Structure 1
Amino acid sequence: MSRIAYVNGRYVRHLDAAVHIEDRGYQFADGVYEVVTISGGRLIDEAGHLDRLWRSLGELRIVAPMAREPLKMVMREVIRRNGIVNGIIYLQITRGVAPRDHPFPKNATPSLVITARRLPLAKAAKTAAEGVAVITLPDIRWARRDIKSVSLLPNVLAKQEARERGAYEAFLVDEEGMVTEGSSTNAWIVTKDGKIVTRPTGNSILAGITRAALLLELKENGIAFEQRSFSVAELLDAREVFLTSSTSYVLPVVKVDDKVIGNGHPGLVSQKLRALYEKFMARETA
């Protein structure tokens, strides 16, 4: 079956999907995006993703191309037409097509593209059971990382270096030596005395939807946590390290740079929190 994409009001073959060469997303990265997990044919934490999408649009003063309810209908139709049971759906909204000029165009119509694809669950489960390695790199991104912008070149460079060095992810470090987040994930540690720590939201990191869901689960289950910055030194000295994202869920980290974390295997806390998040996902698909 050929993959189907949604492009500005039309469902088209994925191979034929295209936008104009003067779309501002292509020329200026003048747009935002969201990635939502599909599990059991259902969207996980859909409301949280759409809330963040609307916030990003507002921060860039891009008008939403349609209201939320029609957008949700289109998303479900893309999932249906692609026969996705487990995978992801990708939404991208740009300011639209206009002659190339830096200021906002007066009459451009926002562009909306939606695609979906399957993800192999067996591979994800194996990765979680083994744990992953991360590296640390300087954070060279712009100062508004809270906006989920399509301008991701620094993230791409960081992810590429991680892969070239045999790692799954790169944790980014600010000028004060504090960890901000991963190139496409949020970073967490479990300290030597058992405290779960992640950096608070603000302009320095993206407010991860999986991060928020996990924090709520921790609160509802009476598990203590702290939202504060932590240093690379504290990262390397942690009892456990893990990361979160829509596609990685809760993923244990067993090596940072050349330092083995714990005993080199996924820690008990990380495994417990992954199971906790999987229960949340199960409720979302019920």
Structure 2
Amino acid sequence: MSIVYLNGSYLPVEEARISPLDRGFLFGDGIYEVIPSYEGKMVGFGPHIDRMRNGLAAIGIELDWDHARWRSVCAELVERNGGGNLGIYLHVSRGADNKRFHAFPEGVEPTVFCMAFEIPLPQPADRNTAHGYKVSIGEDLRWKRCNIKSTALLGNVLHFQEGHAAGNNEILLFNSQGLLTEAGACNVFIVKDGVVATPRLDHQILPGITRLMILDILRKDGTIAVEERDIDRDEVLSADEVWITSSSKEMAPVIEVDGQPVGDGRVGPVWEQASQLYAAAKFDY
């Protein structure tokens, strides 16, 4: 039986209750994070909490929780759910009002909900055994503040479903200018002639924690060149390698885009090298 945290209490998930007037339920008015934990060791805890706090500030939710308090809840959830390999989901909504009204209510306490769920171990950084992903291509139709990790994910869900319905693992999105933004639930990297590139951050792109860590790790190592810049559709289709990255997938190699093989259709050597560097340093964040 899974144990969750809800507004100060730890209880079985079957007993967790929120008001139907909670603004997270009515409007998707909230912020969330997912932090991987392997045998009690969390990946990117500090950057995840920084992004959570930034997101809450961006939408005007006041919650006076510091890193230590979040860490305490995460550690307790891991212990109460038996340890192992877990994803820790953190969710803060604006809270429950006594009516449905678009404007922010006053004097309402935020709802804090957290849970842990089993996740698989990342695949080994071996290009000969790694699972390659297949992705679709689509036009990015989401809202214009994708840099905020909002719980209002319908736009992402519809795009992800588009790729899923086509029999693919994900979908790569391009804006009206034909520039790559991100995937339905991931950031995107390409490799050409040994150089790794990813779209620069703006309002169209979530500042992914795995993205941040990969860029930092590769720059510190210095053996693989990295760039943050605009990337168009032709560059994606002619890339030697394509990766999709997230906290749950870490670095997933893409072997097919819109029915066309990426490079030679096999997982690439730059992915293997970068994955090994990431695996060696990911618990340092």
TM class, shorter-length? over 0.9
C-alpha distance in 2 between matches for 1:38 and 1:67:
19
Q: Can you list the C-alpha shifts for 1:153-209, whole angstroms capped at 9, x where unaligned?
A: 011111112112121111111000111001111001012x22211011121100000
Quick check: 1:133–1:167 contact (8 Å CA) kept in 2?
yes
Give the counterpart letter for 1:253 in structure 2: V
Residue equivalent to 1:28: 27
Q: Deviations over 1:229-283 (max 9, x none)?
A: 1111110000111111101111100000011011111000011111111111355
In 1, Cα distance between equivalents of 2:158 and 2:113: 24
Distance 2:73 2:131 in 1: 37
- TM-score, normalised via structure 2 length: 0.95
Counterpart contact for 1:34–1:53, Cα < 8 Å: yes
Q: Which has the higher helix share?
A: 1
2:242, 2:50 → 1: CA distance? 28
Matches of 1:184 and 1:18 in 2, distance apart? 27
Q: How many equivalent pairs are there? A: 281
Q: Distance in 1 between matches of 2:277 and 2:195?
A: 17
Structure 2: how far apart are the matches of 1:120 and 1:75? 18
- AA partner of residue 9 (structure 1): G
Alpha-carbon distance, 1:121 to partner? 2.1
Q: Distance in 2 between matches of 1:243 and 1:282?
A: 20
In structure 2, distance between residues paired with 1:35 and 1:13: 20
What are the ranges of 5 or more consecutive residues in structure 2 without an aligned counterpart? none
**SS in structure 1 opposite 2:19?**
coil
AA in 2 matched with 1:163? H
Q: In 1, distance between residues paired with 2:267 and 2:83?
A: 30
Q: Superposed, which structure 2 residues align to 1:146-161 within 5 Å? A: 146-161=147-162
Q: 1:194 to 1:225 in 2, by over 3 A?
A: same
CA distance in 1, matches of 2:283, 2:102: 45
Post-superposition Cα deviations, 1:63-91, rounded to whole Å, max 9, x if no partner, equal 11533322211111011100132121000
**Distance in 2 separating the partners of 1:244 and 1:260:** 19
**1:64 is paired with a residue of what secondary structure?**
coil
| Alignment match, 2:138 | 137
CA-CA distance at 1:210 after TM superposition: 0.5
Residue 207 and residue 227 in structure 1: after superposition, are their counterparts in 2 closer, same or farther (change >3 A)? same
Q: Which runs of 5+ in 1 are unaligned?
A: none
Pairing 1:19-98 to 2, within 5 Å after superposition = 19-64=18-63, 66-98=65-97
Distance in structure 1 (CA, Å) of the matches to 2:284 and 2:181: 30
Matched, 1:115 2:115: yes
How do residues 197-236 of structure 1 correspond to structure 2 at under 5 angstroms? Answer: 197-222=197-222, 223-236=224-237
SS at match of 1:101: coil
Corresponding residue SS for 2:18: coil
The answer (yes or no) to whether the contact 1:91–1:113 under 8 Å persists in 2 is yes
Q: Separation in 2 of the partners of 1:155 and 1:73?
A: 31
In 1: Cα distance, 2:200 partner to 2:38 partner: 28
Any idea what the Cα deviations from partners look like across 1:208-229, whole Å, max 9, x if unmatched?
0000101011111112111001
Measured in 2, the distance between the counterparts of 1:47 and 1:251 equals 23
Q: Given that residues 43 and 283 in structure 2 are in contact (C-alpha distance below 8 angstroms), is that contact kept between their aligned partners in structure 1? A: no
Indicate if the aligned counterparts of 1:35 and 1:88 stay in contact, CA closer than 8 A: yes
List aligned pairs for 1:244-263, cutoff 5 A: 244-263=245-264
Point out 4+ residue stretches in structure 1 off by more than 6 angstroms.
Answer: none
Report whether the alignment pairs 1:5 with 2:4: yes
Matches of 2:118 and 2:281 in 1, distance apart?
A: 21
Cα distance, 1:55 vs. partner? 0.3
* Aligned 1:172-191 pairs, distance under 5 A: 172-191=173-192
Supply the RMSD in Å over aligned alpha carbons: 1.6
Aligned to 2:279: 278
The structural deviation recorded for 1:120 is: 2.3
SS in structure 2 of the partner of residue 48 of structure 1: helix
Query: In structure 1, what is the Cα distance between the partners aligned to 2:199 and 2:88?
Result: 27
Name the structure 1 match of 2:168. 167
